[in-house]
Amino acid sequence: MSEPPISRGFKGRKRQDVPSGRVPPGQHLTSDFPVLSAGPTPRPQLHSWSLALHKGGSLLGKWSREEFGALAQTEVTVDIHCVTTWSKLDTHWRGVTIDALLKAAGLDAPPTAYVMIHCDGGYATNVPVEDLINGKAMVATHYEGQPLTPEHGGPARLLVPHLYFWKSAKWVRRLRFTEADEPGFWESLGYHMYGDPWREQRYAGD
Amino acid sequence: MPETEGVAGGSGRLRWLTAEVIALIEETPRAKSLVLNIPGWSGHRAGQHVDVRLTAEDGYQAQRSYSIASAPEDRHVMLTVDRIEEGEVSPYLTNDVQVGDHFELRGPIGGYFVWTAAAGGPLLLVAGGSGIAPLMAMLRHRALANIDVPAVLLYSSRTYEDIIYREELDGLAAKADGLRVVHTLTRGHPEGWRGETRRIDHAMLASAGMVAAERPRIFICGPTPLVEQAARSLLELGHQPDLIKTERFGPTGS
């Protein structure tokens, strides 16, 4: 590609404000935690909330809120990157890793290579299994030591910090294992199937 | 879920294009509209946005997303940018850019927060501040496509001077073709003001909006607290969640 045109007079932020190696191309840092959702915030009844693993028509595992809280809890501090170009460093989360969920469901290995994440409100997103296991992802219930607020996906959201944040689906209820990599909500609307921020995979074809 | 298609119609990569600024419009003390000539532009649907990329002389780049405010029928693409004082891109776009300047953009992006005349109505639009931009694209589309589906715009601004597109909205409402515009001002109002004077709430949506039985297509765009409040109230008023589409922006330093 040819050189991009210089935006006359544009200087941008001081370069030293950006820690090297932690902000992917095209991203900028924010200290806020912006909210982006396509529809109203769902507010499920906590007593009837559950998280389930499915493959085809069969249920592989299901946990009530209490049962979920009794599973092994993991804390992580990670950087997150939204496709709308903000990144946020050193965010702190607590939840249950996908490894722990598979183990709790009695599965030695993931049954297929892909997962469709289904959420309250109808949202869905696809993630390869290998991006969910080996400590790479969790179902998070706490952010910065507090229960996740509804706007940010509470009671529980997926956290896959190494992919663009639309993959970290809010209000997660069901992980459905699939044989093929099927597009989810934004992926059907032209966003990238995988969404690696370091390769700037924002939209289909990137 | 939605009756929509992909970002760019699905054909390959969304390319960076070079836009030329052909006009600047001072909308309010904080907001400016940039009218752009974009060779290679493929057209858009009302509600979609673009990614803008600026490049400094040393090669440093910054990207931000901006909603398209013009109708698909308009000859040129218009972006309306609200200046965030501590921001990096919006002060440049609102203070420094001059007619004849160039910058890169790509789009259109987003296939969900979209309204086409073919989708019909009625239409219930709720805006806060510069969140009016994608909704203005819908109202301009409605006017230019001569679609007289009933429409209501409930628009919250800080002060009278902060109302973006005020005269154009007055003009559209004066056509009496089924569009009703309700303004609310949250930080003071001029003498004799006949609009609302508080933040958008349940009661205001109940009186100014449409009843759920009309099944309006609802689009809400603005700061997160406004969107959360409006969406929640509309659910309480019986509107179906799948008819409510939202676009939120926080203070993301843009």
Q: Does A73 touch chain B (CB under 8 A)?
A: no
Residue B8 and residue A188: Cβ atoms within 8 Å? no
Cα angle vertex B85, ends B79, B87, to 5°? 70
pLDDT at residue number A143: 97
Q: Which 3-state string (H, E, C) describes chain B?
A: CCCCCCCCCCCCCCCCEEEEEEEEEECCCCEEEEEEECCCCCCCCECCEEEEEEECCCCCEEEEEEEECCCCCCCCEEEEEECCCCCCCHHHHHHHCCCCCEEEEEEEECCCCCECHHHCCCEEEEEEHHHHHHHHHHHHHHHHCCCCCCEEEEEEECCHHHCCCHHHHHHHHHCCCCEEEEEEECCCCCCCCCCECCCCCHHHHHHHCCCHHHCCEEEEEEEHHHHHHHHHHHHHCCCCHHHEEEEEECCCCC
pLDDT computed for residue B11 by the predictor:
53
Q: What is the pLDDT along chain B (254 residues), one digit of tens a residue?
A: 333 444 444 456 899 999 999 999 999 999 999 999 999 999 999 999 999 999 999 988 999 999 999 999 999 999 999 998 888 899 999 999 999 999 999 999 998 999 999 999 899 999 999 999 999 999 999 999 999 899 999 999 999 999 999 999 999 999 999 999 999 999 999 999 999 999 999 999 999 889 999 999 999 999 999 999 999 999 999 999 999 999 987 544 33
Q: Are strands A172-178 and A50-55 parallel, antiparallel or unpaired?
A: parallel
Nearest CA in chain A to B60: A12
Span A48-60, pLDDT tens digits? 999 999 998 899 9
Q: In this predicted structure, what is the pLDDT of residue B250?
A: 53
- Chain A residue with minimal CA distance to B61? A26
Question: What 3-state DSSP class applies to A112?
Answer: coil
pLDDT at A180 over 60: yes
pLDDT at A160: 98
- Domain coordinates of chain B in residue numbers? 17-109, 117-249
pLDDT, residue A66, reads 95
Complete domains list, chain A, with CATH: 64-199 (3.90.420.10)
Record: contact B56-A84, CB cut-off 8 A: no
Instruction: Flag whether residue A7 sits within 8 Å of chain B, measured between CB atoms.
Output: yes
Taking the Cβ of residue B63 and every Cβ of chain A, the question of whether any pair is shorter than 8 Å is answered with yes
Task: Look up the ipTM and state it.
Answer: 0.89
- Provide the token pair at A188: 């059907």
pTM of the shown model: 0.92
Residue B155's nearest CA partner among B144, B169, B168 is B169
Fold adopted by B117-249? Rossmann fold (3.40.50)
Say what the pLDDT of residue B10 is: 47
Of residues B2, B60, B104, nearest to A15 (C-beta): B60
Model confidence pLDDT, tens digit, residues A2-25? 678 889 889 887 665 667 789 999
Report the mean per-residue pLDDT for chain A: 93
Homologous superfamily, domain B17-109: Translation factors (2.40.30.10)
CA nearest neighbour of B23 among B97, B88, B91, B99: B99
The shortest CB-CB distance from B250 to any of A13, A27, A34 is to A34
